[in-house]
Amino acid sequence: MKERNAISILDYGSGNIRSAQRALERVGLEVEVTSDFERAWESSGLVVPGVGAFGSCMNQLRAVRGDEVIRARFKSDRPILGICVGMQVLFAGSEESNEEGLAILPNKVNKLAAPILPHIGWNEVTEIAQLRILKGINAERFYFVHSYAAREVTGDAKSAISNYGEDFIAAVELGPISAVQFHPEKSGDVGLQLLKNWAEVL
């Protein structure tokens, strides 16, 4: 089958996929929700959502061969957008669970050192290096809901940070991968602009 000019949202049983679907459609993308390996592989962009616990997300991801499709797309330079726990699974692991992550990003995810958790609400995101998805978006706020995050990302990845109790990685890009700890689909116009930016790299 020829490459379709449409994106897929990987449906592996994690969370509210609908809001991501609606927001991606709003920025002009044709969106298919799928748990099928082939379709997730051949789409021009793959969105990996994720809410809930790291361990159960990893298990559910493996159950639909989501780990394989993410690795395969990464190696073949095919765009991926990870959201929230869908970003965390790209790391080597999480303090939340004994399950291993995909280790595409070498660092680990830790519990945020903040007195009140989860970190819920609109927080500012600051670029360390320029990210494609943050093009034209400066010092804006995005909507976060999480208790865990990566403190750093080493290697070639470009990142943006936010702060809640401590600095943490709010967004990262490495090769075909873009990933965000916040929810662009719930971040109003700013979130839609980020999704539009992602659509432009496809």
**Which residues contact another protein (rule: CB under 8 A)?**
15-16, 18-19, 22-23, 26, 51-53, 115-124, 126, 136-141, 143, 145-146, 162-164, 185-193
* Residue 57 bears catalytic tag: no
CB of 123 to another protein, least distance (A): 5
Look at residue 132 and give its three-state secondary structure.
helix
Which member of 84, 96, 119, 146 is catalytic? 84
DSSP state of 11: -
Number of CB atoms found within 10 A of residue 80's CB: 24
Answer yes or no: are the C-beta atoms of 8 and 34 closer than 8 Å.
yes
* Residue 84 bears catalytic tag: yes
CB of 102 to another protein, least distance (A): 20
Closest CB to another protein among 92 and 137?
Answer: 137
CB of 22 to another protein, least distance (A): 6
Does 106 sit behind a cis peptide bond, omega within 30 degrees of 0 on the bond before it?
A: no
| Beta bridge pairs of residue 33 | 9
What is the set of active-site residues? 84, 183, 185
